[in-house]
Amino acid sequence: MAITVRVGATPDVRGVAHASAQLEDAFDRKGFALALHPLLVEVAGAAADTCKTRFVRTEGSVVGDGAGDDGIAHVMIGLLPGRSPEVKARLSEGALELLRRCVTPGSGLRLHASAEVRDLDASYRKSADA
């Protein structure tokens, strides 16, 4: 089982993160979201009151030959085009640091953490009802 995290902030910021079943009880999801939102505000210029995070569970993960006790956490953040490579790199590094702080794997569990930031397709749309 993995966890998918959707992060949104203004119409121009959204993201997805995955965490494997081995991290289910080790991932402080609320702490991750509450720390990620200010990062999006500071680095990407998002509005704090529009940041959203959604966690979705998915099944299965295997690292290498499957013999190790490995957990996987991956964050994807999508931005409308126009952010510099430096901004994207700062968001990736910040998301990795937050994963390290918010995922506490059990004894012997190895955390494989990664993050990426990419431009959203021009077709991206958002709607929020009052």
What are the pLDDT digits (tens) for 58-112? 567 777 887 877 778 888 887 778 889 999 999 999 999 999 999 887 777 788 8
pLDDT at 3 over 60: no
Cα(36)–Cα(117) distance, rounded to whole angstroms?
A: 13
Question: Which strand (E) or helix (H) includes residue 30?
Answer: helix 29-44
Cα(61)–Cα(38) distance, rounded to whole angstroms?
A: 30
In sequence order, the 6+-apart residues with CB closer than 8 A to the CB of 43 are 87, 90, 91, 94
